Structure 1
C-alpha cells in the first residue's frame, strides 16, 4: 500500500474516488472498501498545495459520485437530455463540498493537523449537504456500510453521521499504520475503534431483540410489478385495476390487520374518483381490513389554480378515509426548487412533475396502534422518519416506485436506506415497492422478508412493535451539529495561529 501512495496525485484521486464509489453498491458487498478509500486522499492533502489538493479532491468526488449514483442517468421515466443533465448536475454539485473541505483542511495543515480536522470536517460536510431544497443525505457514507449490521447500530445514538465518523477514523488509523515508523500503537488504535463499533452493535442487537413486544401487527405487503411507464396509458388502465384487485383478494385471504399497496398503486385519483374509490372500498368493506395505498391527489385553490400531491390514502371498512401528502419532494423530478416562491420557475420543463409538498406529518391509526407512511425518496431523509416516530408512530410503512431505475444500484441503495431509518429510530419498517424491492425490517435493521426486483408477490409481514424511542429519535443530529461546531472552532484556532505567526510574532 505504501508504494501505491507514491503514484501521481491524479491517480491517487481516481483510486480514492473509485473505491468510495464501489463501496456504495449494496449488492456488490464491497462496503469494506470505504475503510481504506480515503487513505490516498489523506496522502494528497499532506503532499499537495491547498489548491492542488482541492482540485484532486474534486476529481475523486466526481469519480465516487458517478460510480455510486450513475443510476440517476438510467431513469427510463424521462427523456434522455434531462436525465443526463440530472446526473451531470448532481455529480458536479456534490463535488463542490469535497473541494471546499479539502481546500480548508490543506490550507490549515501548517497550524492544525489534517488528521484532527478531517473527521469533524467530513461530518460537517455531510450535515450541511443534507440541508435545504437541494439536500441529498442519500450520499452520506453510512449507506456504504448497510451490509454490516453490527457496525451500523451506532445510528440509534449518532445517526448516520456517527457511522461516517467511524469510517474516517478507520482510514486515519490505517494511514498512520502505513506511513508511521512506529505502527504498533496505531494498529492498537485502529483495532480499538473497530472493536468498539462491533461490540456496541452486538450489544444493542441483543438488547433490542430481548425488549418487550407491545403488539404484533400483520400487514399484507403487495408488490404488483407493473411497468410505471405504461400504467397510465388509457388502454392499460383496466388491466392494472384488475391486477390490483386480484392481488387485493390474495392479500385479504391472509387475514392481515392492514393491506399495503405501493406508491401510486392505481392510475387514478383515489380520493377524488368516487367510482374508483367505491370499487376498491367494496373489497375493504367485505373483508373488514383497511387498505393503505399510494395515490396522486389534487386540490383546487381557485378557478385557475390547483395543487397536485403525491399522497397516501388509508381506506377504512366504515368508508372513512385519511390522507397524507408527501412532505419532502424529489428536486427537479417532482418539483423545481423555489418554484412556489418564484412561480416563473414552474415554466421550466425538464420532464418533472409539478407537485406541491404536503404540510402535515400524518399519524394513521390501526386499532390502538399509531403508524405513519413515508413515500419513496422520503426514506432517504432521516428527519422525516424521526419526526413521525417522535409524534408517536410505532412502525413505519414505505410506499415506493423504483421501476424507472430497472435493476441498477438505485433500488438496492433505496432499500438499504430503510435499514438505516429502522435502526436510527428503533422501529420496524415495512416497504411496498411497485417493482421491488419490498420487504420487512425489524428494529435492529435486520431484513426479515424480501421480494426481489421484477417479481410479483404478496407476503404477510409479522411486525413486532416495541414501546421505545432511541436517543437519536429524541435528540436528532446533535452529534453532527457538535462536529460542525468543532470544525469551526478548529478552523478558528488555525486562523488565529496563522495570524499570530505572520503578524504578531
Structure 2
C-alpha cells in the first residue's frame, strides 16, 4: 500500500515538472449573475441579452480576445431573431467568435419537435448555422428530463410540475474550429462524466469549454464541488479548460488541473486570461478505464479462488 502511494506521488511530482504546456491565446468569460426568476421572466428577456452584449463589448475594450464564452442558457429561451442579430453583430464587430448556451428546438416531419439544452457557436462572420449545435447528453434527472415516465405526466402533478423537464438527449459530439485550436463543449454537470472529455480528446480537441449555471446552489458547497470535477477532466485528458458560469465559479484550468482567474459567487464578472493546454495524449485517453476493469476482474478472480478453496475444505 505504501509503495503504491509513493509511486503515485513520485509520478505526479515528476509529471508536474516535465509536462510540456503551451498557451493557445486569450479567452473571455462572461458571468452575468442573472437571478433565476428574473432570467426567465419574459418581460426581462431582452435586457438579459443586452447585458451580455454590453459586458462583452466592455471586455473587448480592455483587450483583444480570441474566443468569447457565455454561460449555460445565457440566451433566455429559444434564439429570437432580434437576439440573433445582436449576437451576430457583436461577433462581426470584433471578429471574435462567441459560444453561448440557449434552448434549441428540432422539428420533426409530423409537426412535433424535441427541445434541447444546447450551445450555439457564432463564428467571426456572425453565423451559427454553419456549425452543428451541441445538445446536452447527460440531463439532470427530473429537472431537465423526467426518467421512466412521460414528462407530461409529472408536469401535471401540483408542486412538482413546474420543475419537471422534457429536454431531449443529445447524441453528437461536435468539435469546433477556432483560431485557438479545436474544442469540445460540456454543459453543466456533464463535467462529472469522464467519457465526454475523453471522446473529445480522441476526436482531436485541444481544449474544453464548460458552460454552466450554478445559481441554483446559492452560497453552499455546491458550486465548489461542481467546479472541482473539472480538475479530473483536465488531468485525465491533459487539456486546458475554460469555464463560464452564470453565477460563479467561472475559471480556467491548465492540463495539470490547476485553476486560475476564478470568479466569486453571486457577483457579476467578466474575465480574460491565456488558455493553456498540452499536446500530450495520456494512456487514459488511448485505452480508457482499463485499470478499473482489471481491478474488477482481479477482485472477481480472487473471490473465485477463495470460494473454491472454501468449497474444497467443506467437501
TM-score, normalising length from structure 2?
0.91
Matches for 1:449-488 after TM superposition, within 5 Å: 449-488=261-300
1:348 paired residue among 137, 154, 159: 154
Corresponding residue for 1:201? 12
C-alpha distance in 1, partners of 2:139/2:311? 45
2:94 aligned residue: 287
Q: What are the within-5 Å matches in structure 2 for residues 296-311 of structure 1?
A: 296-311=103-118
- Aligned residue for 2:37, secondary structure, equals coil
Q: For the aligned residues, what is the CA RMSD?
A: 1.7
Match of 1:258 in 2: 67
1:41 equivalent in structure 2? none
Instruction: Name the counterpart of 1:38.
Output: none
**Counterpart of 1:451 in 2: which secondary structure?**
coil
| Cα distance, 1:333 vs structure 2 | 2.4
1:268–1:276 contact (8 Å) kept in structure 2 = no
Aligned to 1:425: 237
**TM, length-normalised to structure 1:** 0.58
Instruction: Tell me how far 1:345 sits from its aligned partner.
Output: 6.0
C-alpha contact (below 8 Å) 2:21/2:276 kept by paired residues: no
Q: Give me the whole-angstrom Cα distance separating, in 2, the residues matched to 1:249 and 1:450.
A: 21
State the partner residue of 1:378.
190
Matches within 5 A, 1:51-450: 190=2, 192-208=3-19, 211=20, 213=22, 216-253=24-61, 254-270=63-79, 273-321=80-128, 322=131, 323-338=133-148, 344=150, 346-349=152-155, 350=160, 351-367=163-179, 369-450=181-262
1:136 corresponds to: none
Distance 1:416 1:494 in 2: 39
SS of alignment partner, residue 450 of structure 1: coil
Structure 1 Cα separation of the partners of residues 291 and 5 of structure 2: 19
Larger RCO, structures 1/2 (Cα 8 Å, 6+ apart): 2
Change (3 A) 1:212 1:399: closer
Tell me if structure 2 keeps the 8 A contact 1:375–1:400.
yes
Give the 3-state SS of the residue equivalent to 1:452 in structure 2: coil
Could you tell me whether the CA contact under 8 Å between 1:252 and 1:289 is conserved in 2? no
Q: Larger radius of gyration, structure 1 or 2?
A: 1
* Local SS of the residue matching 2:261: strand
Gapped regions of structure 2 (runs ≥ 5): none
Deviation at 1:486, TM superposition (A): 1.3
Q: Tell me how far apart the structure 1 counterparts of residues 148 and 281 of structure 2 sit (CA, whole Å).
A: 34
State the alpha-carbon separation in 1 of the partners of residues 71 and 141 from structure 2.
21
As a proportion of its length, which structure holds more strand?
2
- 1:41-92 Cα shifts (integer Å, max 9, x gaps): xxxxxxxxxxxxxxxxxxxxxxxxxxxxxxxxxxxxxxxxxxxxxxxxxxxx
User: Counting helix residues as a fraction of each chain, which structure ranks higher?
Assistant: 1
Q: CA deviation at 1:447?
A: 1.1
Mapped to 2, the partners of 1:332 and 1:487 lie a distance apart of 35
Deviation string, structure 1 residues 263-290 (Cα, Å, up to 9, x no partner): 00021322xx222101111111111111
CA distance in 1 between counterparts of 2:81 and 2:145 reads 28
CA contact (8 A) 1:401 1:434 kept: yes
Cα 1:381–1:315 shift into 2, 3 Å: same
List 4+ stretches of structure 1 deviating above 4 A: none
